[in-house]
Amino acid sequence: MNKKKNIADQINPEIRDALLEMGADGIYRCYQCGKCAGTCPWFPVGTYDFPIFRLPLEAALGMIASSEDKDELAAEIDKIYRCVGCEACVDQCPHGINIPSIFRAGRRLLVDFGSYPEILKSTVRKIHDVGNPVGEPREKRSDWARDLNVPVFEPGMEFLYFSCCISSYDPRVKSVARAVAGILQKAGISFGILQSEESCCGEAIRRIGSETVYEEVAKANTSAFERNSVAKVLVNSPHCYTSFKNDYPELGVKFDVLHISEHLSDLIESGAIKPDKEFAKKVVYHDPCALGRQNDIYEAPRNVLRSIPGLELLEVENFNHGLSVCCGAGSGGLWMEWDKDERIAGVRVTQLIDTGADVIAVACPYCLQMLEETAKSMGHDIPVMDIAEILAESCL
């Protein structure tokens, strides 16, 4: 007969102390109210049981990834890599506990032991080897701009435009970087790119738990910025934005960062960009977690869409702005392979389509890739477009 284990026999103070050292703050403040679990995007998935409210208690007892049983350990690793870092739970906790930072501490521990999903090991390896998660050569990073006359950044230019790895290399998402460059050129903005001197910002691998490779790429980028006297960086990915704005200052470097939606909104307001061609479609805007909830940028992308003639802007009722539901691509989720009926993106695609929209608008390359691929796999042909692509259709 299978005997249930006593919790007292499983307590592991060494793991608890290691988790605390790796950033699992606030674990003793949890009083198991369960409010966090109700907002987690895994909750409406329904087919996957993910009781995140247990995590702080398990961390306080050192019961994370501590089993010596192979199957139990594999289940623990799977659980720890389910969190997509959307931070919906952070807003709900009455005691200010940051659940994703506890998951991240657990991941740092697993990465140190080499016990994490193979697919993510491959992502981390590619970023270490060639500076991007797709494994393409550095020299091809600026291929998206080849026929656009985008100059190499020089000291004195106003902006470094840092197109993220996905919009630099992915054949579909490259069109976002091309739209951004075209609009900036038309508005007469002084900007350049650093081509193969750029490396992945490292946001995703830091959240996967690979602190060492994150530091490598972050230092490579900050050295390149310093070498080229970069003072302002313009990004189209909210993940690069959050990394540059919230993580890089720990390295003691100073530069300003702007998300493209903020800059485009300002350029439209000042009259430097004039959207004049009709885009007569119903467009629903999906708030990316890393832009909205994590950096409080909600109105700038909506302002861009509202400025376009003929466009009718829709919202997902109840689940917009800070209550937007994650697409599932953050914290390594973009590369994870979960069962078809176990995908957060499926829930979000259904919510977005149910608004009656003709187009889904995003302001993040991860959301673009995740929502587009998921919608297709569910048999929907609704286009998913970045706000820059929609604006380009109206003003170029």
List contacts with ligand SF4 (CB under 6 A). Answer: 30-36, 39-42, 52-53, 56, 83-89, 92-93, 95, 97, 99-100
Beta strand ranges found along the chain (DSSP E): 159-162, 191-192, 232-235, 256-259, 282-285, 312-314, 359-362, 384-386
**DSSP labels, 96-130:** ---HHHHHHHHHHHHHHTT-S-HHHHHHHHHHHHH
Q: How far is the CB of 35 from ligand SF4 (least distance, A)?
A: 4
Q: How far is the CB of 54 from ligand SF4 (least distance, A)?
A: 8
Q: How far is the CB of 205 from ligand SF4 (least distance, A)?
A: 17
Query: Which residue lies nearer to ligand SF4 by CB, 231 or 323?
Result: 323
Residue 208 CA to residue 174 CA, distance in Å, equals 25
Query: Which residue lies nearer to ligand SF4 by CB, 30 or 157?
Result: 30
Tokens of 186: 């038309």
Task: Kindly state the helix (H) or strand (E) to which residue 241 belongs, with its residue range.
Answer: helix 238-242
Query: Which residue lies nearer to ligand SF4 by CB, 54 or 125?
Result: 54
Query: Which residue lies nearer to ligand SF4 by CB, 53 or 244?
Result: 53
Query: Which residue lies nearer to ligand SF4 by CB, 87 or 197?
Result: 87
Q: How far is the CB of 87 from ligand SF4 (least distance, A)?
A: 5
**DSSP labels, 154-211:** -TT-SEEEE--HHHHH-TTTHHHHHHHHHHHHHTT--EEB-GGG-----HHHHHHT-H
Going by C-beta distance under 8 Å and a sequence separation of 6 or more, which residues neighbour residue 200?
Answer: 127, 131, 132, 133, 165, 217
Q: How far is the CB of 184 from ligand SF4 (least distance, A)?
A: 33
Query: Which residue lies nearer to ligand SF4 by CB, 247 or 299?
Result: 247
Residue 83 CA to residue 9 CA, distance in Å, equals 27
Q: How far is the CB of 286 from ligand SF4 (least distance, A)?
A: 16
* Total residue count of the chain as it appears in this document: 396
95, 31 Cβ separation under 8 angstroms: yes
Distance (Å) of CA 65 to CA 11, 123, 268: 12, 22, 51
286, 324 Cβ separation under 8 angstroms: yes
312 φ, ψ to 5°?
A: -105, 115
Q: How far is the CB of 144 from ligand SF4 (least distance, A)?
A: 31
Query: Which residue lies nearer to ligand SF4 by CB, 94 or 135?
Result: 94
Q: How far is the CB of 108 from ligand SF4 (least distance, A)?
A: 16
Going by C-beta distance under 8 Å and a sequence separation of 6 or more, which residues neighbour residue 3?
Answer: none
Query: Which residue lies nearer to ligand SF4 by CB, 150 or 344?
Result: 344
Q: How far is the CB of 208 from ligand SF4 (least distance, A)?
A: 13
Strand 159-162: give its sheet, edge to edge.
Answer: 191-192, 159-162, 232-235, 256-259
Query: Which residue lies nearer to ligand SF4 by CB, 56 or 62?
Result: 56
CA atoms within 13 A on the CB side of 101: 12
Query: Which residue lies nearer to ligand SF4 by CB, 97 or 264?
Result: 97
Tokens of 105: 């501490």
Q: How far is the CB of 33 from ligand SF4 (least distance, A)?
A: 4
